[in-house]
Amino acid sequence: MSGIGSLVCGYAENDGIAKVALDQLSSSIENFASRALKFLNEEFTDEALSFGPFCARVLLENSCAALLGRLDSFRMLYLSEFQSQPEYEHGKRAQSAFSWTGDVIPDNNKCAKTLWSLDNDLPRISRALFSKHFEHIYWKPAIERMLDFVTTCSPNSALQEILEIDAETFIDKGRGKAIQIYSTLSKGVHWEFFTSALLFDEETVKSAIRDTCLLISQLGLISHFIPTAYASLEPTRAMEEYISFRKLML
C-alpha cells in the first residue's frame, strides 16, 4: 500500500453510494500506482514501455475523478447512480459520462470567460477540477491553509516541492501539466506512432509517470484543506500520507 488511495480519495466514514464509489476508486488508484511506481523505480523493461503509460493514465484519470467527486459530490453520485440504471449501456457513449474535457479541464468554448459577471448564466460556470471558479473557490484558499499547516511541521526534504507551491499560479501550472501529461500518456496508450522516431523510451515513460504521481499527490494533499470536501483526512494524516508516497518516488 503506497497510501496514495487515501491521499486522493480520503476516508468516507458513512456507508452509501459515495463511500462505495470512493472505495472503488481508491483501490484502483492504489493498484495502478503501485505498478506505475515499480516501472518508475526499477530497471526499465519492455513491459514498462508497454504498460507504464497505461498505468499512469488510469492513475491520472481515476485520481481526477475521485478529487472531483469529493469536491462536487453531486457529480459523483449522479455518475454512480446512472451507471446502475438499465438505461446505462456499456456499448454506447453516455452524453453525461465523466470526461477529461469538461470534468477535469474546462471546455473553453462553453465556459464563461470572466470569473464574475452578471451575464454569466449557470451552465457557463465550469465545475471542472481545473476551472477558474474551482481555483478561486476551492484551491487557492486550500493551498494557503495547507502551506500554513506545513510551516508548523518539522522540516522534511520530501516537502521541497510543496514549499515551491504558490496559490496564485498552482492551478494554472497544474492545468498545463495535466494537459501535457494526458496527451503524452494517450500516445503511450494508443500507440499512435506512424514513425519509429516517435516511439517512447525510458526517459519519456519514467518522466511521465513521475509527473503524474507528483501532480495527483499534490492535489490530493491540498484537497484535505478544503473544508467542504467530502471524506477529508485530518491534516496531520494527509501530510503523513503525502510524505510517505513522495518518498516512494525516485
Partner 1 sequence: MTVEQSTEEESALILAAEECPPESFNQYHSFSPHDEVIIRKLSAHGPVLLRGGRGSGKSALLIEAHRRMKKLSKVFPVYVSLRYLPLLQSDGQEYIEHFCILLSQAIQREINDQNLSYCFPTANDQVSLQVALMDFSQNLGMRLVLLFDDAAHIGREKPLEVFFDLFRTLSSSLTSCKASIYPGVTKFGIRFDVFNDSTVIDISRSDVSAFPDFFPEVVRARYPKLAKRSTFSDRLSPEQFANLLGRAVVGNLRGFILACNRFEAIDRIGIPELTKCFLDMASDYFWPLMEEVAPKLGVYEALIDPARDIIEAICEHVSKPVKDKIRVVAQDRVLIHRQIISQYIKIFEILEYLGFISRREASRALKSGGRGPIFAVNLCNLLDSVPTKRLTSEMIDEWSSGGMEPAELHVSGSTFQSIKLPPLTEEHGLAILQKPIDVLARSSAYPYGLTSKVIGRLSAAQISTVGQLANSTDEELDNIGYIGTVKIRAIRDVVYQAIWM
Instruction: Give residues in contact with partner 1 (CB under 8 A).
Output: 143-144, 147-148, 151, 154-155, 157, 160, 163-169, 172-173, 175-177, 179-180, 184, 187, 195-201, 203-204, 206-208, 210-211, 250
Beta bridge partners of 105: 101
Using an 8 Å Cβ cutoff, are 247 and 239 in contact?
no
Other residues' Cβ atoms within 10 Å of the Cβ of residue 166 = 11
In angstroms, give the least distance from the CB of 108 to partner 1. 12
Indicate the residue among 24 and 101 with the shorter CB distance to partner 1: 101
Indicate the residue among 49 and 77 with the shorter CB distance to partner 1: 49
* Distance of alpha carbon 73 from alpha carbon 120, whole angstroms: 23
Using an 8 Å Cβ cutoff, are 228 and 8 in contact?
no
* Distance of alpha carbon 13 from alpha carbon 11, whole angstroms: 6
* Distance of alpha carbon 198 from alpha carbon 244, whole angstroms: 35
Residue count of the chain:
250
In angstroms, give the least distance from the CB of 170 to partner 1. 9
In angstroms, give the least distance from the CB of 243 to partner 1. 13
* Grid cell listed for 165: 507551491
In angstroms, give the least distance from the CB of 90 to partner 1. 33
Indicate the residue among 82 and 247 with the shorter CB distance to partner 1: 247
Indicate the residue among 84 and 109 with the shorter CB distance to partner 1: 109
In angstroms, give the least distance from the CB of 174 to partner 1. 9
Indicate the residue among 147 and 189 with the shorter CB distance to partner 1: 147
